[in-house]
Structure 1
Amino acid sequence: MATNYVQPGNILTIPAPAAVLSGGVVIAGEIKGIAQGDALSGALVDVATRGVWELPKVAANSFTLGAKVYWNAGDGLATTTASCNTLLGVAVEAAPADSASVKLRLSGF
């Protein structure tokens, strides 16, 4: 293995950009993922950057399999709206408008 290899990068330990609860979305610049524990702003938190997660969504939105899933940080909900929101990943199954959540695979980029 190369001597400059650090880690797989599936879970990163970073300072929380804001207070977060376990399972909450963390966005720190281009690092996007799911908190693996509670953390106050500035405290270290483990953030999963890969995997499939279920998140609450905007009630009126429906997702098709493979649709892009964005995060509206103001509302704390997944949305189909790209404008002013952060791309988190893609839907791994359809989520109709009457469902409360969407299952998505984090893009890990």
Structure 2
Amino acid sequence: MKTFIQNGDVITIPAPTAGITSGDGVLVGNLFGVAANTAVEGEPAEVATTGVYTLPKATSTVLALGARVAWDNATKVVTTPGTGRYAIGVAVNDAGNGAATVSVRLDGIGTVAS
């Protein structure tokens, strides 16, 4: 197809302000993904928009398998959906109070703060 560019599971973007580190959650506008490489601001960066990733979680947040999750861009952690947070997918494991991470299946769709 003449207009096809790529599947979109991993896309290349300019690294945002302050750059990114491989494995970090990245929010640029309404696009959320996980950095596949480390890049300084403005350099090409690969960002995965689908798949399952272990991401940092607000330690006091309790998430059950299958729970909708959101990204808190101020603190750079996964938490429950709420005002000012960006829906990103679902938890694929239980992550209780005190847990520092949760595995998340990314939706791969554009997001907006609720």
TM-score (normalizing by structure 2):
0.87
Other-structure match for 1:37: 37
Please tell me whether the aligned partners of residues 26 and 33 of structure 1 are also in contact (alpha carbons under 8 angstroms): yes
Other-structure match for 1:7: 6
How far the C-alpha of 1:81 sits from its partner, in A, is: 4.0
Please tell me whether the aligned partners of residues 68 and 87 of structure 2 are also in contact (alpha carbons under 8 angstroms): yes
Which is further off, 73-82 or 44-53? 73-82
Which is further off, 71-80 or 5-14? 71-80
Identity of aligned residues (%): 37
Q: CA RMSD in A?
A: 1.2
Other-structure match for 2:112: none
Letter in structure 2 aligned against 1:106: L
Runs of 4+ in 1 over 3 A off after TM superposition: none
Provide the secondary structure at the position in 1 that maps to 2:105.
Answer: strand
Supply the distance in 2 between the matched residues of 1:48 and 1:38 (Cα, whole angstroms): 13
- How many residue pairs get aligned? The number is 108
TM-score (normalizing by structure 1):
0.91
Other-structure match for 1:20: 20
Which is further off, 97-106 or 73-82? 73-82
